[in-house]
């Protein structure tokens, strides 16, 4: 039997007892995650403090040992937060760094803290704690953007603009109604993140590596101290589950989709061709060669950052798709997508609120656009339907009216009754009352419609619900 190669204490790993050679430096560097999972340091320390108390109740730690360990952990937390303590790459990840720092301070009693705990249930618990806090922050930022949308809608309640399908002018709508469409998208996003929070609010700690623990750990008390509402029911599932992380990335992707659609419209509207909005100088840039340019860079970056969030979702789905139970080292790759998406979503939501609140919307230009493009043609068809003309026939009649107007280079509302009667005898003197953008908008007076009375009520209802939402 070959003798063991001597391993220095500096290089020794927690699992070194079984190994004859130290880990290659290249393998250490390849497998290290400390450069990104350092974000979990606070969650890991808070978890460890709670775990120390449970170990003391289980008589694995004495009262004195527990107090010393907690005091040392609190000191480490302060040291990291102040910048006096730097985590070291040779300790592989944040968990091993903190354990090493603890042992430096309290000696061998610090090694007792890992009793009954594996990095498998430890890291899953840390990640869930981290994500719960991120979700709260994201929901708060969604609510802020929703409030900005309501302010914008309320301030511009009289503006009429073209509504579009296929990016072609379709029917006139209130600009405020258009803004409220994005409010509703964000409302669904908010609901999704709340559901993700509920799925994340399950504590895996106590599951050990995969089979649970034989120590008398009070998991319910531990969950309560760590502010989890539930504990996991199966130890193998608990350490290998990343559904909550996929759900988070999925919710983030949909939120970014909605913000990208909004950004796209602001980009289009800010062109000279539309001139519906002027974005503030604070959230635009110029050109290094063309002096006249004012580019909507913040909106464009919002649109562009969607790609990285989509990519993060696909990355984690791909990591998880072929893994056997229970924990596999592949799952170390879960954190960077989560950290990146959380940071991206927060930054985009924050700056989008600023950009929207400083934007100037051009009521005159929107109003002019709403008067061109035969936007009240559908109102004319409905007028005929109310007089007994089958809709398909009414549609055909109005189509011919539009074709005539195009050939004559005029808008529908300027046609005389005599001209209209050439297309149908069902047109009478009152037809001219329904052909303006204002009358078209006012006629959509039902819940969910674009009539001013409905939109004002929708703003009021949304504001009330937003204020009452304490999540």
Distance between CA atoms of residues 358 and 161, nearest Å: 20
Is the residue at 16 inside a domain? no
Q: How much is the pLDDT for 16? A: 67
- Please report the pLDDT score of residue 10 as a whole number: 52
pLDDT per residue as tens digits for the range 329-383: 999 999 999 999 999 999 999 999 999 999 999 999 999 999 999 999 999 999 9
Same domain for 414 and 354: no
What does the pLDDT read at residue 421?
94
pLDDT for 285 equals: 95
Under the banding of pLDDT at 50, 70 and 90, the label for residue 25 is confident
Q: Are residues 200 and 349 in the same domain?
A: yes
Please state the domain count of the chain: 3
pLDDT of residue 23: 77
What's the pLDDT at 170?
Answer: 96
- Which residues are marked as active site? 166, 287
Residue where one domain finishes, among candidates 368, 384, 410? 368
Range of the domain at 439: 371-468
Bridge-based pairing state of the strands 230-231 and 168-174:
unpaired
CA nearest to 361, candidates 273, 293, 275, 250: 275
- Span 296-324, average pLDDT: 97
Q: Which CATH number do you get for residue 448?
A: 1.10.40.30
pTM for the structure as a whole = 0.93
Quick check: is 10 in a domain? Answer: no
Please tell me the distance from the alpha carbon of residue 144 to that of residue 368, in angstroms, as a whole number.
Answer: 32
**Which of 353, 368, 383 is the endpoint of a domain?**
368
Tokens for 343, please give them.
């940071």
Q: Are residues 341 and 378 in the same domain?
A: no
Q: What percent of the chain has pLDDT over 70?
A: 97
Mean pLDDT value across residues 279-304: 96
Statement: residue 14 has pLDDT above 80:
no
Domain with residue 59: its CATH number is 1.10.275.10
Per-residue pLDDT tens over the stretch 392-412 = 999 999 999 999 999 999 988
CA angle 421/426/428 to nearest 5° reads 70
**Cβ partners under 8 Å of residue 363, min gap 6:** 156, 158, 159, 175
């Amino acid at each position: 039997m070959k003798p063991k190669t001597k391993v220095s204490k500096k290089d020794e790993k927690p699992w070194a007892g079984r190994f004859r050679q130290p880990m290659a430096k290249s393998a250490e560097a390849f497998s290290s995650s400390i450069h990104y999972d350092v974000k979990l340091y606070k969650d890991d320390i808070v978890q460890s403090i709670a775990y120390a108390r449970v170990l003391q109740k289980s008589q694995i730690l004495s009262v004195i040992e527990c107090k010393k360990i907690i005091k040392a952990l609190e000191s480490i937390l302060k040291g990291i937060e102040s910048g006096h303590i730097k985590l070291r790459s040779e300790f592989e990840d944040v968990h091993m760094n903190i354990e090493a720092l603890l042992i430096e301070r309290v000696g061998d009693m610090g090694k007792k803290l890992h009793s009954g705990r594996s990095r498998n249930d430890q890291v899953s618990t840390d990640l869930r704690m981290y994500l719960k806090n991120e979700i709260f922050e994201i929901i708060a930022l969604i609510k802020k953007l929703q409030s900005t949308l309501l302010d914008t809608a309320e301030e511009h309640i009289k503006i009429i603009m073209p509504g579009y399908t296929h990016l072609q002018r379709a029917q006139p709508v209130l600009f405020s109604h258009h803004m409220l469409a994005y409010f509703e998208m964000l409302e669904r996003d908010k609901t999704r993140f709340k559901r993700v929070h509920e799925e994340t609010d399950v504590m895996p700690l106590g599951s050990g590596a995969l089979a649970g623990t034989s120590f008398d750990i009070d998991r319910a008390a531990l969950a309560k101290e760590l502010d989890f509402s539930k504990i996991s029911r199966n130890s193998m599932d608990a350490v290998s589950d990343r559904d909550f992380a996929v759900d988070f990335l999925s919710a983030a992707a949909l939120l970014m989709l909605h913000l990208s659609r909004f950004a796209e419209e602001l980009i289009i509207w800010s062109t000279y061709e539309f001139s519906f909005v002027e974005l503030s100088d604070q959230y635009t840039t110029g050109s290094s060669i063309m002096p006249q340019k004012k580019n909507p860079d913040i909106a464009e970056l919002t649109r562009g950052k969607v790609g990285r969030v989509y990519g993060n979702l696909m990355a984690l789905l791909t990591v998880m798709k072929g893994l056997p139970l229970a924990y596999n080292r592949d799952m170390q790759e879960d954190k960077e997508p989560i950290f990146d998406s959380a940071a991206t979503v927060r930054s985009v939501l924050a700056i989008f609120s600023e950009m929207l609140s400083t934007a100037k919307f051009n009521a005159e230009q929107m109003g002019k656009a709403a008067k061109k493009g035969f936007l009240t043609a559908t109102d004319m068809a409905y007028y005929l339907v109310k007089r007994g003309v089958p809709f398909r026939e009414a549609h055909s009649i109005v189509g011919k009216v539009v074709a005539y107007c195009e050939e004559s280079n005029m808008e529908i509302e300027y046609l005389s009754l005599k001209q209209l009667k050439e297309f149908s005898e069902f047109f009478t003197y009152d037809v001219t009352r329904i052909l303006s953008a204002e009358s078209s908008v006012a006629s959509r007076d039902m819940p969910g419609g674009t009539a001013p009375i409905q939109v004002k009520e929708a703003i009021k209802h949304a504001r009330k619900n937003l204020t009452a939402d304490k999540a």
